[in-house]
Amino acid sequence: MNLLLLAMAFRAWSGAACSVFLRVMAAIAAFSLEIQIATWLHIGNIRSLRLINLAAAAIGVSWHAYRRSVFRRLERDSVETEQPLSPRSPDGSPASRPFIAAPAVTLPPLAAIAGLVLLVTLLAAMRPVMGADPYHLQRVDQITRSGTLAYDAGVADVKVNALAGVYELLLADLRIPGMTAALVRFHGLLGLGLYLLSIATVAPWAGIRRRWFLITLLVVPVVFQQLVLVKNDLFGALPAFVALAWVVTRGPALSLAECTAAAALAGFSVGIKISSAPIALVVCGLVAADHRSWTRVAASVAAASVGSIAGGLLFTLIQNDLVYGAPLQPYLSLGNRHDSIGDAAIGLARFAVSLVDLGTVTPRVWPGRGGWGSTFGLPVVWALAVLALRWRDWQARRALLAALACLIVFGATYPDADVAQRMVIAPGLLLIVVALGCLDREERYARGLRAGLIAVIALSALQIGRSAWLYLG
C-alpha cells in the first residue's frame, strides 16, 4: 500500500518507459529510506507510514494537476499570441528533464506476454508459497510483525537479517487496503511487471525494431525461476540491467542527468545485493571513459553512493556492526568465496563452461555441485555468437567488454558461480538485448541468425514448460 501511494505521489504512470521506470524506482527508494529512518529513530512503522504517504500522494496528484492546468492556460494564451511554447513531454507537461524522454515503448507481442502471465498466475495459484531460500519469507514475516527493518538478534540464520531488505519490504507491503496478510503469493506478477518495464526502457536504446525478437527475453530460463519461487535476484538485477544498457548503448551521447541517473540505479542495485558492486564500478568506469570529465565522474560516484544508501547498504552495515560486532561479519561468516588464486581460476573456468553447457557438463566434471535456479541457457549462447560476429559494431564490443568484466569478477569470487547465475542476471540480459539490436542491423548473416533465434526461442520455451510441469508435480 505504501508503494502504491508513493507511486501516485511520483505520478509513476506518466511519460515514456524510461520515465516510468525511474519514477517507480524513485518511489521504491523513497519507501526504503522512510522505513530505514523509522527503524533507526523508532518513530513509526510500515503501517503508520501510510498516513504520511497518503498525504504525499494527495500533494503529488494536486501539484501535477495544478501544473497541467497552468500549462493548458499558457497553451491557450500562446495560441492567441502566436508564441511557441517549450517542447512538451508525452504527458503534456513541460519537458524539463529531456533525459527521461525515450522513443516509443517497445514490448514483446501481447500474445507472448499473456502466455507468460497466465503461466506465472497458474503456478502462483496452484503451488504453495515457497522461497528459493527460507530466509526471504522469514524476513517478510519479521517485517510484517515489527513493521520495520529492525534486526532480530535471536534469529539462527544471519541471512534473515543481513541479506534481505528492500525486496522483502515490498512483499510485506504488498497488500490490499484492509488486509492483514501480504499478497506474497503473487510476487511473480510484481517481478514480471518490473521486468517488462525494464525491457520497454532498454529495447529502444539497443535499436530493436522487431517485436518478436523480444520474445527471447521472456524465455530466459534463469529469469523464469525468479517468477516462481520467492527470491530477490531479479528485483536487484533490473536497476543494474537498465543502468548497464544505458551507458553501454548510448555512451558519449549521455547527458549529465543521464549519467547520474544510471549511476544511481547501479548503486541502488548494490544496496539490494552486494554482488552487484562490479556492475556499479563498470557503469562509473564507462562514464569516465566516455566523457573524461571530473564533473560527470564525481556526479556519478555521488549518485551511486546515494543509490546504495537508498538500497539499504549503509543501513545494513551499521546494523551488522551493532548486532554482530563488525559491518562485514555476517558476510565473512558465510564463507561463500574463493580463498586462493588457484581456487578462483578453477571457479572461473567452471563458470565459463556453465555459461554455454546448459547445465550438462559442470555437474559431471565437478560432481556434488547443486543449487537452485537455471543457467542463462540458449539465449546467452546465441547472444555471444552474435556479438562475436558483430565485434566491429561499437555497441556489441562495449556490451561484451562490460558484461565480461562483471562476469569474470563474479566467476573468480563465488565458488557456486556455475549454479548461481541468477546473481548476475543484469550482464546476461545486457548481452541478449544488445545482440537483438545487432541482429536488426545485421546483413551478412541475418537469415541464419534469425533462424537460429527462432530455434532458441522454441527450445527455451520448451525448457520453461518443462520447469513449470515439474513445479506443478
Give pLDDT tens digits for 343-395: 899 889 989 998 888 878 887 787 766 566 688 999 999 999 999 998 988 99
Contact 418, 350 (CB under 8 A): yes
Where is 137: in which H helix or E strand? helix 134-146
Contact 380, 373 (CB under 8 A): no
CA nearest 271: which of 200, 165, 346, 139?
165
d(CA 410, CA 164) in angstroms, rounded, equals: 20
pLDDT on residue 157 = 87
Contact 240, 265 (CB under 8 A): yes
pLDDT on residue 76 = 64
Where is 30: in which H helix or E strand? helix 17-41
Predicted TM-score of the model (pTM) = 0.90
The DSSP call for residue 84 is P
The alpha carbon of 172 is separated from its chain's Cα centroid by a whole number of angstroms, namely 19
The alpha carbon of 327 is separated from its chain's Cα centroid by a whole number of angstroms, namely 25
d(CA 353, CA 176) in angstroms, rounded, equals: 45
Each of the 473 residues of the chain gets a pLDDT tens digit; together they read: 888 889 888 888 888 899 999 999 999 999 999 999 999 998 888 988 888 988 988 988 887 777 777 666 665 655 555 544 444 444 444 444 444 444 544 899 999 999 999 999 999 999 988 888 889 999 999 998 899 999 988 888 899 988 888 999 999 988 765 555 567 888 999 999 999 999 999 999 998 988 999 999 999 999 999 999 999 999 999 999 999 999 999 989 999 999 999 999 999 999 999 889 999 999 999 999 999 888 999 999 999 999 999 999 999 999 999 998 898 888 888 777 888 899 899 889 989 998 888 878 887 787 766 566 688 999 999 999 999 998 988 999 999 999 999 999 999 998 888 888 899 999 999 999 999 999 988 777 888 999 999 999 999 999 999 999 999 88
Q: Which amino acid is at 86?
A: S
Q: The C-alpha cell of 88 is what?
A: 512538451
pLDDT on residue 89 = 47
155 CB neighbour count, 10 Å cutoff: 15
pLDDT on residue 97 = 44
- β partners of residue 94: 88
pLDDT on residue 95 = 45
Residues in the chain, overall count? 473
d(CA 4, CA 30) in angstroms, rounded, equals: 12
pLDDT on residue 426 = 96
- Domain limits of the chain? 1-92, 111-125+134-472
Residue 259 main-chain phi, psi, to 5 deg: -60, -45
pLDDT on residue 1 = 81
CA nearest 389: which of 439, 341, 321?
439
Q: The C-alpha cell of 262 is what?
A: 544510471
CA nearest 384: which of 400, 367, 369?
400
